A and B are shown apart, each in its own frame.
Chain A
């Protein structure tokens, strides 16, 4: 008996040791496609076409169709559908027509003679401006429920807007009418119409952005960068121009821990002053989650991509990775949490799309901005292997802490121990200077961790929550019921609002 027990303890130890090192690739597998010869497939947008085909738009202005990309990579077949566009940062298929967003137009491309190549390039809307600056990229969404395309227009450089509606989000109606919709955009990297018809885009670290952010495009809102607000006189539907955040007050290189909560350069304080200002839904914490947020892909596969149905998958150009975002609404404001998800893509990710089989297609380029992947361009696919990673599934704000749900039952002993968790709170100064450090760091105490009866969720109680702060929570000590550590034992929650209950 005794020797048996020793043996089983040994076996358990071995099993624990092996399980101690879960790998992302065990759960999500990257498949790399060869790309068409003679070109650089710098994927900047992807759309699903009928019959399982894909349309792939590129920074070189080409649009390729790819057949069989849902099967073995050797089966993929490419055909050049169109070329010569000034960058293709948006693709939307409807009624046998591919609607594209290039640098200065939304246009409908049609193959009228069935040879697989577009021969009709009808401009739907070209009413926003373009100055010739490289920075003025234009990212177009797919259709919302009214058939509108939402376009986020990068500023002219980092600070200013030299052409109408640069630094704005505009909606293009099916008849070509352009409706100015939100101001305050800086440098978008991707845009999505979510399943509930809410529209989000990613913005990039820079002036007024201490980190990249996920932003909620509420019609009529100001997204935070005042550079484009000079165009309010051309947008009477938007009402009066918001008062400007005061850049001078917010200068002065605050470092980690140096800021004070009363400093005026706080998003949470400026929101009280500037009524149109909508805070970032999630800060994509700089250097940790990424440095250059790009595409947003919701998982609408109904479980075929794993346990994260309806969550958002957000890519990063410079880190060549994808992170996972869960959003909730508190006091009418969207906020949520970002978790690391999958790294190791070959180039800087820009364009992405998931099909109904739950296959996530992703591609990009490192041109002009380096990317960790190391390849100049790439087109890849991410598939769920069918194994469920042990992760925090959802993280919700509570009046005195957070509620975590997990993808599998937790080990009660570790999950109920507050010492299995740790947290820090910080924010970024909301100021005109480029980027910024994590400031105003505080270490809250986690006083209690209560495991639910079904062992699928844990209620964390903090000694103090700070509105407006990013709450970085570590789950290092938590184990699953079968002893696995977490694949990604960290989450960054942006607490715009603290719920009353």
Chain B
């Protein structure tokens, strides 16, 4: 989220200009980013009681909206609550029936626009906005800051530098040294290149820090070599000595609203020279105080980090399916996630050699694996996640009344060999494996639209070779199965708890029979299985 804060200075300049010349209406343009499930502006500032016009341009490939809520609203919960009763939500076009929502655009189709005009609340605060389409809220949100400070990133003014020459291994007492050169820093940003010196120099920056309101502020520094920050003469943070700028140090200060004396000291011995500083506080996110931005600084504050690490990389399916091999919740350690056109997704396990889970809505967020070192299983980004059966092999020869072979946790299905997959002309994966001398292929496709229409997941298995006598294919398994029409309504175990999911599905397959808790059919050369979501066709 913080990443997008960068776009705001430009916006703020525009706002200032419009405030100066057009006076009364603030116009904010918010666009959706294509295939990212994000707004391009995730934060903007307005004054209390101000007239605001929001121009919403949907440049994505799916419909979105913007709904504004009261401060403190858990907007993810408010949006996801709709998934409890999707039929009613559909009738409202996914605009929540929630008293905390006080303004919204209409649902805007791809490549269309809408405008929303309102008077900003008189009460200062942070007013969240969010897209309330199912599965979007977790990452598609932002905030409107209502307050007097608005419209300008807080930072330094009257910034001056002093340049010192010398060979140090730790920060010297600059007060006792005579500067080689001094001058003004016009852009108000701490920077290393005030002169051409590359080695053996020191810098002291002094300026006025404009603190927008009383509160706790954090200051960050990362420097090559040593650096420290003083506020009102008190040392807030320091990273002295000779080192690369990879370590970010953070210090805190309780500050009163108004001007404070800022001082940053830095020295460079030899080699690489870098200097980064930033601060954050009530009402604004981590903001650079230096000309160059440290890639790690935005994420350093605890609040920002938790938020950023596991969200922010939704893989959005367009015309072609997306394959994502990684750790996926409920699908073991060798999962293949596939997001299909038609708003349904699966995770297939090459440990069980079987379909592990399926869901509808958005595919998956790769942030957990792409932001950090890549550990941990990622749950689906969509909803109504079901698993056809506990994770185990698809085919077996079992005695009458015997239970289906179970898969040891982290183990591999015995007698199965994984061969890999192909992408057909529609780039649909065809999984291939061998079982007892039989070459098996599996292909999935979504018929219809599983988000809003009557989408179904169609699974086709082809078996090539001599099928062992008495071999069964297990379609599904659960303690809660009821025959329904030509198929069965199955209530599966809950795979994820993070989002509001209904783990029910309807499954049909020719020749399928219920034996105890398993739905099976005799293995044959071609098997077609259709899974659908009862919430879509009102078949509860």
Contact = CB atoms under 8 A, between A and B. Distances in A.
Given A84-B325, A104-B334, A132 B377 contact: yes
B412 to A, nearest CB: 9
A488 interface: no
A254 interface: no
A367 B410 contact: no
Interface string B353-380: 0000000000000100011111111000
Given A366-B295, A374-B295, A375-B295, A87 B374 contact: yes
B246 A370 contact: yes
Contacts, number: 96
Contacts of B272: 343-344, 372
Contacts of A40: 370
A134 B369 CA distance: 9
Interface string A166-178: 0000000000000
Contacts of A318: 246
A175 to B, nearest CB: 13
Interface in B277-292: none
Contacts of B334: 104, 126, 130
Given A107-B420, A119-B423, A132-B377, A370 B325 contact: no
B296 interface: yes
A52 B336 CA distance: 32
Contact of A134 (B224, B336, B375, B419): B375
B535 interface: no
B350 interface: yes
Interface in B384-438: 410, 418-424, 427
A367 B371 contact: yes
B324 interface: yes
Chain B interface category by residue count: 35 or more
B323 interface: yes
A120 B431 CA distance: 10
B326 interface: yes
Contacts of B8: none
A131 interface: yes
Contacts of A366: 246, 295
B324 A104 contact: no
A134 B246 contact: no
A84 B324 contact: yes
A489 interface: no
B29 interface: no
Contact of B410 (A59, A102, A163): A163
A134 B376 contact: yes
A121 B375 contact: no
Interface string B319-341: 00011111100000110110000
B274 interface: yes
A133 B377 CA distance: 10
B484 interface: no
Interface string A59-75: 11100000000000000
A455 B138 CA distance: 70
B246 A60 contact: no
B418 A123 contact: yes
Contacts of A83: 322-323
B245 interface: yes
B435 to A, nearest CB: 15
Contact of B373 (A60, A102, A131, A134): A134
Nearest to A118: B423
A370 B247 contact: yes
Contacts of A319: 244
Nearest to A42: B370
A126 to B, nearest CB: 6
A121 B422 contact: yes
Contact of B418 (A87, A126, A344): A126
A93 B271 CA distance: 39
Interface in B201-240: 224
Nearest to B274: A374
B419 A130 contact: no
B365 to A, nearest CB: 13
A118 B422 CA distance: 9
A438 B480 CA distance: 64
Interface string A129-158: 111111100000000000000000000000
A340 to B, nearest CB: 11
A59 B374 contact: yes
A84 B337 CA distance: 9
A122 B419 contact: yes
Contacts of A134: 372-376
A464 interface: no
A368 interface: yes
A97 interface: no
A118 B421 CA distance: 11
A375 B422 CA distance: 35
Interface in B304-329: 322-327
A131 B323 contact: no
Nearest to B375: A134
Given A60-B366, A366-B295, A372-B244, A85 B325 contact: yes
Contacts of B247: 370
A368 B371 CA distance: 8
Contacts of A54: none
B250 to A, nearest CB: 15
A121 B420 contact: yes
Nearest to A112: B422
Interface in A341-361: 343-344
A37 to B, nearest CB: 12
A461 to B, nearest CB: 33
Nearest to A369: B373
A120 B333 contact: no
B349 to A, nearest CB: 12
B498 to A, nearest CB: 18
Among A61, A121, A343: residue with most chain B CB under 10 A: A121
A86 interface: yes
A58 to B, nearest CB: 10
A277 interface: no
A120 B377 CA distance: 26
A40 B419 CA distance: 30
Contacts of A102: 325
Interface in A378-418: none
A376 interface: yes
A368 B370 CA distance: 9
A449 interface: no
Contacts of B324: 61, 84
Contacts of B295: 366, 374-376
A60 B333 contact: no
Nearest to B372: A368
A316 to B, nearest CB: 12
B372 A84 contact: no
Contacts of B271: 343
B316 to A, nearest CB: 12
B371 A104 contact: no
| Most chain A CB neighbours (cut-off 10 Å) among B334, B366, B371, B427 | B334
Nearest to A60: B370
Given A130-B333, A318-B246, A123 B370 contact: no
A446 B376 CA distance: 54
Given A126-B418, A374-B274, 14 more contacts: A104-B333, A122-B419, A126-B350, A132-B377, A132-B410, A133-B375, A367-B373, A368-B372, A370-B244, A372-B245, A372-B272, A374-B245, A374-B246, A376-B295
Q: Which 5 A-B pairs have the closest CB atoms?
A: A134-B375, A84-B323, A370-B246, A368-B373, A123-B420
29 contacts: A59-B370, A59-B374, A60-B366, A84-B322, A84-B323, A85-B325, A86-B326, A104-B334, A119-B422, A119-B423, A120-B420, A126-B334, A126-B418, A129-B410, A132-B333, A132-B410, A134-B373, A135-B375, A343-B272, A366-B295, A368-B372, A368-B373, A372-B244, A372-B245, A372-B246, A372-B272, A374-B245, A374-B295, A375-B295
